[in-house]
Amino acid sequence: MCLRPLPRVAKTAKYLARVIDHTKVAHMIFRVYWRSLSSFGMKTQHGGVSPRSGPFTPQVWRRRAPPSIPRDDNVHETVQLLSEFMRARLTKDFTFEAAQTLPNAPEGHKCRGLHGHSFKVEVSVEGDVDPKPGWVYDHAKISDAMKPLLKMLDHAYLNDIEGLENPTIENMADWFWKKLQSQCPGLCEIVVHETPTARCVYRGN
């Protein structure tokens, strides 16, 4: 009967040797496993590896080595190009105060009545980092796109605004997305906070 060494035993041995820098402990674990096989007349996949060799010698682990890759003179250039490539996500926060009612909420729900919130909106864009300035793009452009929207929303009754007749945070997130999508290239996420513990995350779908 031919068995592969238990992966957990080998993994434990390698982990102990790496973490506590004491290969004798790892070799001891491997010997215990090897002897347990021998006591039942079993052989390892490698025909009975000597316990002295341990789990770190080439004859035990050589079979797990990755296949050789033909030399390619363009590999260095490819790696260099990949190392220069960087993507990042830029997020900017905005706040405003507004009143609202939710006319489609169930009868008796407290949100059907007039109430207000201190809203927080997070606008995130994602893209390649321009190596020259070192940013995705100037985050002031997000502020420029949000400024007229905040002026419209701050200290307003949201239900009077076109598109926000039922101003749930879900509908508000979609409203912001439609307003910002053309002005903020790479727009990837909008988060609308209704309270410190309640928010809606929207990614345009």
State yes or no: pLDDT of 60 exceeds 90.
no
Both 131 and 37 in a single domain?
A: no
For the stretch 63-86, pLDDT in tens is 455 555 555 555 445 444 444 678
- Residue partners of 162: CB distance under 8 A and separation at least 6: none
Residue at 80 is within a domain: no
pLDDT given at position 84: 60
Residue at 78 is within a domain: no
Both 101 and 190 in a single domain?
A: yes
Residue at 70 is within a domain: no
Residue at 183 is within a domain: yes
Helix axes 140-153, 169-180, angle to 10 degrees: 130
Both 147 and 60 in a single domain?
A: no
| Helix (H) or strand (E) segment spanning residue 118 | strand 115-128
Is the pTM value of this prediction over 0.85? no
CB 156 within 8 A of CB 98: yes
* Across 184-189, average pLDDT: 95
Backbone angles phi, psi at 48, to 5 degrees: 95, 80
pLDDT given at position 82: 43
Both 42 and 117 in a single domain?
A: no
Q: Considering only residues 56 and 151, tell me which one the structure prediction assigns the higher pLDDT.
A: 151
Residue at 144 is within a domain: yes
State yes or no: pLDDT of 150 exceeds 60.
yes
- How many CA within 13 A on the CB side of residue 21? 0
Both 98 and 198 in a single domain?
A: yes
Residues 31 and 147: their CA atoms lie apart, in Å, by 70
* Across 137-154, average pLDDT: 95
The residues carrying an active-site annotation are 111, 155, 194
C-beta neighbour count of 169 within 10 angstroms: 20
pLDDT given at position 185: 92
**Per the structure, how many domains does the chain have?**
2
DSSP category for residue 165: S
pLDDT given at position 86: 87
Both 157 and 104 in a single domain?
A: yes
Both 131 and 56 in a single domain?
A: no
- Residue partners of 139: CB distance under 8 A and separation at least 6: 90, 92
pLDDT given at position 7: 57
Residue at 75 is within a domain: no
Domain range enclosing 56: 2-64
Confidence of residue 48 (pLDDT cuts 50, 70, 90): very low
State yes or no: pLDDT of 96 exceeds 90.
yes
For the stretch 106-133, pLDDT in tens is 999 999 999 999 999 999 999 999 888 8
CB 164 within 8 A of CB 175: yes
